A and B are shown apart, each in its own frame.
Chain A
Amino acid sequence: MKFSTRSQNLPLYATMLVLLALFSVASLRYEGFFSTRVVANLFSDNASLGIAAVGMTFVILAGGIDLSVGAVLAFTTIFTATLVQNHNVSPFVALPLALAIGTSFGTGMGFLIQRYELPPFLVTLGGMFFARGVAFVISQESVGITNATYDKVLEFGVPLGAEASLSATALAFIVFLIAGAVLAHFTRFGRNVFALGGNENSARLMGLPVGATKISVYAISGFCSALAGVVSTFYKGSGNPADGVGFELDVIASVVIGGTLLTGGVGTMAGTLTGVLIFGTIQTVLNFDGRLNSSWLRIAMGGLLLLFILLQRFLSRHTAAVR
């Protein structure tokens, strides 16, 4: 059964194929779609989504879920915006502080999940309400940011040819994606995450540090959510406590479309990148095509999501049958 042996990678190939097809068709149909500018913008526009997806990939690989992502993002945007704008705190202080809070928040949820064996769905649902609530306590309304440091960062760009450049946020996405990929695929910690999601009981009996690994993935997700929030303040130039409602679901969808098994243990960072880019490409197509409204993004994502979980189910049945 040589075919089945590599079938784990099949969802990844399938998503890559979908991305390629989507991009090719769009390039043929819309003038100016096939350009470095569109590609650069894919990374800039989806930096928040992508960074959060890196964190979520760890959580899902470990067999968990994190619903607090959107709320933590919103909290971070309003927290940094308020500090920088209303209290004149330097971004060099405000941003690390925001990241530290996000990380601690994730660690706290991870601790509850690990120590008291609580279901991650409920713990992070609680975390979601909590973070969202605190965001609104900080400010009921959007706070715009005008700050010299912010302007400098926004001016920054790595030129790509004559007409396009890679923004700071896009760079942040790429850097953290690579860091995530290295951590997931090239370290003991990464292997432990896969083992934990593949079979927690076995992982424990194999003497792996199950508890520390479990808490760490939520800490990573908390950090990534906060970073996604920071990136969002640069991208939008403001903080808003109502930002990112339903954002966690876009993140989960991107990760799962990227071939990561929702039950854990199988997946790749490359897949997550592909999932995020599919999301972004559909959005770009909608922008190019004036006739379609943004509801079609949801419809396309919904369709793809169902398609991919069906594919995964088929493959896991298949491997189970082989066994």
Chain B
Amino acid sequence: MSEPLLNVRNVTKAFGGVKALDGVGLTLRPGEIHALMGENGAGKSTLIKVLTGVYTPDDGAMQFDGRVIAPRSTREAEAIGISTVYQEVNLVPTLSIADNILLGRQPTRFGFLRKKAIKQRAEVALARLGLKLDVSLPLNACSMAEQQLVAIARALDIQAKLLILDEPTSSLDEREVEFLFGVLRRLRDQGMALLFVTHFLDQVYAITDRITVLRNGAFVGDFAAADLPRLKLIGAMLGRNFEELESADSDPSPAITEKRATFLEAQELGKRGVMDNVSLSIAPGEVVGLSGLLGSGRTETAKMLFGVLPPDRGSLSIAGQRTSIRSPRQAIRLGLAFCSEDRKSEGIIPHLSVRENMILAMQASRGPLRLLARSEQDQIAAHYIRALNIKTASAETPIMNLSGGNQQKVMLARWLAMQPKLIILDEPTRGIDVGAKAEIEKLVHSLRAQGMAVIFISSDIEEVVRTCERVVVLRDRRKIAELSGAEVQPNRIMNVIAHHDE
């Protein structure tokens, strides 16, 4: 086996006490395509940012090409020979293709750009990928796939030895993916090392030689792709030892006591380009889980139900009435609530106080003229701070000063204050500590006991199993199975995800 090109050992990086990376290792050899796998929050992007100099690790060592490295900027990383192509292509759409490939490194004479030489070098870089484009065209005239390839061409021009591809295929169609893979194989055969981040399992097996798995910021393992069957990979990503799984005695999940009237029933709901097909029903006092890997359509399902992405086919009925939800406002009127996974950009308003954040939805539903009395606001805030055990200095503290878990609880309080009949919790435990996780799970149980219907979305399969009595399994933007009662077990869910069409 050849000498490793990149050797990362024991890298640790914490943000405000939360360890995003905890003793992670990564080894890459020249002429190898290596997949970096893990669910959301596993630490993939943090690791990439450490490699590319965006973050400085708190601890650990990195060796590249036989030398110890500690890049402090993208520029430095590129100078060493590490180049990155990001998911949302980080190029300048208004500039020409040639400019994008050579920006910052254009050949000049007496300080002036040599336009002919620039054009030529850009064409050479594209030719290495087997691509021929008019390099004087602005980048925004290109398709996403072409832009992706231009980004790779840029990386090639700097003579990168290691090319990192962060979710390069997420916006490409099948044919484009095939072409890209051809390019990647060609680069591998030229001796480049490629680190490939994706959540598409098929693609991992189609192209990679080795797989490194991370989970919750920790290193799980470095496997040869051929020796790691799908199920084991999923087990590694989701945090269950497979053998242990098979022998584990299954917790009897909460039995379905009686047949209750359905609150919400969705049939064959879909939206072009978003979600193929999902059906689900839920009754008051029921907790239904949505399970599946990243990109399987969990959040999209929630957003369709809540009117954020109104579906364009299928039918929906609420409390026995046929209806269609076109906007979140309408969803709220019908008694739905949606606690978004992305609380930073879709939930909290950082400079407003805990109280103000809590009453937002409630105030919005009353309209701007019927102000909620201050005393009432204080009462609501005090109630939920106590009921959800929110750790805050006071109800008037700006929410940005709270920890992630407590912010999440404020978000929950915002929706609970509306007294919804159905609440959708999308990754309510993401990025919060273990104690807070347990509290949120407990809360879900008590909501169920109060007769609320809960749709629970989480990447943590065990959490889903602990919390839900029924689980809808999604894959590739469609529902592939529904498990209930005794079937709700981690290994069953993983089996379904891994083997559905095999």
Binding site for B on A (CB under 8 A): 1, 4-5, 8, 182, 186-188, 191-192, 194-195, 197-199, 201-209, 261, 265-266, 319-320, 322-323
Contact = CB atoms under 8 A, between A and B. Distances in A.
Contacts of A266: 94
A208 B104 contact: yes
A198 B90 CA distance: 11
B90 A205 contact: yes
Interface string B74-110: 1100100000101000111111000100011010100
Q: Describe A's contact surface by its main secondary structure.
A: helix
B108 A191 contact: no
B111 interface: yes
A205 B138 contact: no
A22 B143 CA distance: 39
A201 B94 CA distance: 14
Nearest to A5: B141
A293 to B, nearest CB: 40
Nearest to A2: B141
Given A4-B141, A194-B92, A206 B112 contact: no
B103 A265 contact: no
B73 interface: yes
Interface residues of B, number: 27
Nearest to A322: B141
Most buried by A among B73, B75, B104: B104
Contacts of A208: 103-104
Contacts of B104: 188, 191-192, 206-209
Contact of B113 (A191, A197, A323): A191
A191 B90 contact: no
B137 interface: yes
Contacts of A319: 140-141
Contact of A195 (B78, B92, B112): B92
A212 B451 CA distance: 60
A191 B94 contact: no
Interface of B: 73-75, 78, 84, 86, 90-95, 99, 103-104, 106, 108, 111-113, 137-138, 140-141, 143-144, 154
A113 to B, nearest CB: 20
B188 to A, nearest CB: 24
A186 B115 CA distance: 8
Q: Which of A5, A182, A192 has the most CB of B within 10 A?
A: A5
Given A5-B137, A322-B141, 14 more contacts: A8-B94, A182-B112, A188-B108, A191-B103, A194-B92, A194-B94, A195-B99, A195-B103, A199-B91, A199-B92, A202-B92, A205-B84, A206-B103, A207-B74
A205 B74 contact: yes
A202 B78 contact: no
A269 B265 CA distance: 61
Instruction: Rank and list the top 4 A-B pairs by shortest CB-CB distance, nearest first.
Output: A207-B75, A198-B92, A5-B141, A265-B94
14 contacts: A8-B94, A186-B113, A188-B104, A191-B103, A194-B95, A198-B92, A198-B93, A198-B94, A199-B92, A199-B94, A203-B103, A206-B90, A207-B104, A323-B143
A323 B154 CA distance: 20
Contact of B108 (A1, A187, A323): A187
Contacts of A187: 108, 111-113
Given A206-B74, A206-B104, A322-B141, A199 B93 contact: yes
Contacts of A188: 104, 106, 108, 113
Contacts of B106: 188, 191
Contacts of B93: 198-199, 323
Contacts of B99: 191, 194-195
Nearest to B86: A205
Contacts of B108: 187-188
B140 to A, nearest CB: 5
A201 B84 CA distance: 14
A319 B141 CA distance: 7
A313 B86 CA distance: 28
